[in-house]
Structure 1
Amino acid sequence: MLLYTVSLCVLTMVAAQDGGVVSYEGYQLLRVYPSTAQQLGTLMDLVRRRRYEGLVSLWSQQLFASRTSANNRTEQSADLLSAPQVLEDLVEQLDANGISYDVLIHNLEEAIQSENPPIDPENDELESRGGHRLTWRRYHRYKDIDSYIEYLAITYPDICQTEVIGKSSQGRDLKLLKVSTGGDGNKPAIWIDGGLHAREWISPATVTYIMLQLVEFRDLHPELIDSVDWYIMPVANPDGYEYSHSTDRLWRKTRSGAKANKRWGKRTCYGVDPNRNWDFHWGEDRSSSSDACTDDFRGPKAFSEPETKAMADFILTRKDQIKIYLTLHSYSQMWLVPWGYKNDKPKGYYDMYILAEKGVEALEAVRGTDYLLGTAAELLYTASGASDDWAKGVAGIKYSYTIELPDTGSHGFVLPAHEIEPVGQETWAAVKAITRHFTDARVP
């Protein structure tokens, strides 16, 4: 295990030209295994060399977490997406420096095209007769998710209501669903959000699956609503989410105003990484960038984005009620506990770990999916300005977690749609488990 922290910048790969759809034809995803400090330094140099060309991008890194792969290799690794024009050179450099690697995705564009099944007009019509078009067999656009939120509020008015907490940069509603049997906020509450990073499609799909189970199958678990209020926001970054569907499947950031940057040879760059934009140790480490053209641009200031500011304002007005904060991301199959901005553990970490452990155990019992549990700093890397650290450090929500959904890299961000229901089922099992443990055990 490497005994020091490495922060990497996730780079913007390509930009759509003249409004066209970005193609990733010939792009390959490599998992590389630097086993020494020297190899890690070489790897970082390779990435930095292509940084401003946008030809190599870091998808994920597990340099401090051990997980045994199918070929019995203990993985301390980084996933690199390479453009075809530099792939040969990248592989030669890896070989020359003795850095082993596997090819996880041979052609990213093919993976993207097969990720989401086409809409069957006949089935789509049948589904719409149920009052909404949302399914858990394919990934849906934002309008379908928004319509489902409205459908639940109209169909179950005794327990559901919608609330618009703000507007996105492009004017879309920032909408959440409140699920409650009443009580004027006297009950403890759980917050769940998804879709903060636009390209992580499995996140909103999983959050809507939780909504489905919680509301439409409430008779199976009435205690979950009787004892707890729920605030659920399936798409926290609607502009970016829509852009990832319409133009660039790998778009990560928001879509806030254009910023000039001559270094990249582009007139303008858009968006901010919304999970580096929270006002808690914002911009203190190298896990985020001051360059507006990178995927991890932290913004010109904390809470520069209306999306993060609206979420924070809403949570702060209910910080004494909200006892559990869950934000769903992908990928890597990890349940992350603060802190992420430093290697130390927060006050109450043992209690936080025990509750998370209940969730991980329930999740793994569904189909054996292996999750790692620990802090982001110890399992991944230090990163400041993240929402879970803010929820813990500023809002004072003791049980604040990031759940990194499947998979571990075989598909990465382009997880096939047939995985939506299984991922939803196991994640729902985890949410039920921590809720029941929290309420039954009267966890402090």
Structure 2
Amino acid sequence: MTPATTTALLLLLAAGVATAEEEDDQEEGEDARSYRGYRVYRVFPAGGAELRELVSGLDDEVSLWTQYLGRNGSSADLLTAPRAAAEVTARLEARRVPYLLLIADLEEAIREENPPVDPEEEDWENRGGHRLTWTRYHRYKDIDSYLDYLANTYTDICQTEVIGKTSQGRDMKLLKVSTGGKGKPAIWIDGGIHGREWISPASATYVLLQLVEFREQHSELLDSVDWYILPVANPDGYEYSHTKDRLWRKTRSAGTPHRRKDGKKARTCYGVDPNRNWDFHWREGVAGEACREDFAGLRAFSEPETRAMSDYILARRRDIKVYLTLHSYSQMWLVPWGYQDEKPRDYYDMYVLAEKGVKALEAVRGTDYLLGTAAELMYTSAGGSDDWAKGAAGVKYSYSVELPDTGQHGFVLPAAQIEPVGQETWAAVKAIAAHFAEGHD
């Protein structure tokens, strides 16, 4: 499947069921969206044309979760509304397109994803200073309080910084971890750019747990490297995914009016995809409909979240040697570029360092990660933070990591996987950091 074909397919599917909640303009007082009866299929079409035929006329019923290219052939994961399931499977079988049912009832998977709060957690804040665990997915306030706990407990190396405010007024809180001194190489890590990717903030905080609370096991990584870690880059979207719509991806900025071409009632659509909003090849090959999941915004850096991150990184661009953004799902370590097929001139250097991280990660429990560019492994997309960090901020080693799994659970990875994923992610981060702790450029 060519990048052009892939882009066309994304344009076709991105406005599907995953943004249907905007039809009703869900406000704070409304009930959370139910995904009862929604199914996720993995299909194996011969190419983009066949896939488009399979979903033709079902734009409001079928949405693309992710797709793969490369060594295992082409495939796509489709979230299908209950009323469209029979039609989709009938088309697949009529064309003899192989497919698998990955999730039979998404609402059931969501209900089983996260265990209920342990009543004893109510006392943890008094006993330990925070309530964060790595046995369940936590709300933003718990993550926020953990950053404060680290800063208040490990005052010699930790400092919180509020780098900006979200559209809804939440703090964008970052933790700087440093033993002091000037001119040290720095590593930036962010998580939670997309609200629904809960394993991302959980993994970022697990990295903080290991880096700070077990510092004696790797003191060289603190003595030689500074760290900037922003566990939740999209707090509004993250909270909305907990309270209103488990699959919410975008920010929650003020609604953009959208006039429908089919004669139906116009609607107001909320939010922008913060990973299409960066001012580097912004909006290339992407349509501008506000209700799309990957809406890039009315202008680059329209979102306070992306502006705050970019300003902070640009002010420290001379020291930041690695930009690492955590996403899910697919189990891929992605190297720029994402917006085009052509690779950067120093791609080999970037690949070799990434390979160290991937090998360390895979050594933990044998998890298989693909390594390459987004354009060659998934699809072309412009306006991403990793491309911006490389192309605009000049951070040589810029990566986007798609955390587990490969589709069995997709975006609703069970909380039991938080610690295993955190362990292997930390192993990769350590391997990357060791490169600079050893004095390499």
Q: Same fold (TM over 0.5)?
A: yes
Report if aligned partners of 1:406, 1:423 keep a CA contact under 8 Å in 2. Answer: yes
Provide, for residues 221-253 of structure 1, a one-character-per-residue CA deviation record: whole Å limited to 9, x for no partner: 001110000000000000000000000000000
3-state SS of 1:359 partner: helix
Q: Could you give the per-residue CA deviations for residues 60-115 of structure 1, whole angstroms, max 9, x where no partner exists?
A: 000x222xxxxxxx452000000000110111111122211100000000000000
Equivalent in the alignment of 2:49:
41
| TM-score scaled by length of structure 2 | 0.94
Q: Which moved more, 1:397-406 or 1:97-106?
A: 97-106
Pair 1:262 & 2:259 matched: yes
The match for 1:439 among 408, 426, 437 is 437
SS at match of 1:430: helix
Query: Given the alignment, which residue of 31, 42, 51 partners 2:42?
Result: 31
Partner of 2:216: 219
2:70 aligned residue: 65
In structure 1, what is the equivalent of residue 102 of structure 2?
Answer: 104
**Matching residue of 1:21:** 32
Q: CA separation of 1:427/1:296 partners in 2, compared to 1, >3 Å: closer, same or farther?
A: same
* Partner of residue 277, structure 1: 277
Give CA-to-partner distance per residue, 1:247-283, whole Å, 9 cap, x none.
0000000000011223174531100000000000001
Q: State the partner residue of 1:374.
A: 372
Whether 1:198 and 2:204 are equivalent positions in the alignment is no
User: Matched residues in 2 for 1:306 and 1:48: separation?
Assistant: 36
- Identify the range of structure 1 (113-122 vs 89-98) with the bigger mean alpha-carbon deviation: 89-98
C-alpha displacement at 1:289, in angstroms?
3.1
**Equivalent-residue separation in structure 2 for 1:47 and 1:305 (angstroms):** 32
TM-superposed CA distance for 1:44, in Å, is 1.8
Partner of 2:424: 426
Change (3 A) 1:334 1:144: same
* Superposition deviation, residue 126 in structure 1: 4.1
- Secondary structure at 1:213 match in 2: helix
4+ residue segments displaced more than 4 Å = 1-5
- 1:140-159 deviation per Cα after TM superposition (whole angstroms, max 9, x unaligned): 00000000001100001100
Aligned to 2:146: 148
AA aligned to 2:83 is: Q
1:354 corresponds to 2:362: no
Counterpart in the other structure of 2:159: 161
- For each residue in 1:18-42, what CA deviation from the matched residue of structure 2 results, as whole angstroms up to 9, or x when unmatched? 611000000000000012x3xx313
Q: Alpha-carbon deviation of 1:432?
A: 0.2
Say whether residues 1:134 and 2:140 are aligned partners. Answer: no
- Structure 1 residues not aligned, in runs of 5+: 67-73
- Which SS does the other structure have where 1:389 is aligned? helix
Map Cα deviations across residues 315-359 of structure 1 (whole Å, 9 max, x no partner): 001001000000000000000000000001102111100000000
Q: Deviations over 1:180-231 (max 9, x none)?
A: 01113x1010000000000000000000000000000001100111000000
Paired residues of 1:47 and 1:57 also in contact (CA < 8 A)? no
1:121 equivalent in structure 2: 119
351-360 or 40-49, which moves further after superposition? 40-49
2:43 partner amino acid: V
Shift of 1:303: 0.4
Look up the equivalent residue of 1:282 and give its one-letter code: W
1:230 counterpart residue number: 227
**Corresponding residue to 1:248 among 225, 245, 248:** 245
- SS at the partner of 1:232? strand
Query: What is aligned with 2:318?
Result: 320
SS in 1 for 2:6: coil
How far has the Cα of 1:14 moved from its partner?
2.8
Q: For the residues of structure 1 that align with 2:208 and 2:406, how far apart are their CA atoms?
A: 25
The equivalent of 2:87 in structure 1 is 89
Contact 1:26/1:84 (8 A) holds in 2:
yes
Q: Secondary structure in 1 aligned to 2:424?
A: helix
Q: TM-score, normalised by structure 1?
A: 0.93
Deviations 1:356-386 (A, max 9, x none): 0000000000000000000111101111000
Two-structure CA RMSD over aligned residues (Å):
1.5
Q: Does the C-alpha gap of structure 1 residues 307 and 88 become closer, same or farther in structure 2, counting only changes over 3 Å?
A: same
CA contact under 8 A between 1:200 and 1:329: conserved in structure 2?
yes
The one-letter amino acid paired with 2:223 is D
Shift of 1:4: 6.0
Alignment of 1:337-416 (within 5 A): 337-416=335-414
Distance 1:343 1:267 in 2: 36
Post-superposition offset of 1:45: 3.7
Partner AA of 1:325 in structure 2: Y
Q: Is the 8 A contact 1:358 1:430 kept in 2?
A: yes
Percent identity over the alignment?
A: 66
- 1:278 and 1:101, CA in 2 relative to 1: closer, same or farther beyond 3 A? same
Contact 1:203–1:330 (8 Å) recurs in 2: yes
Is the Cα–Cα contact under 8 Å of residues 188 and 323 in structure 2 kept in the other structure? yes
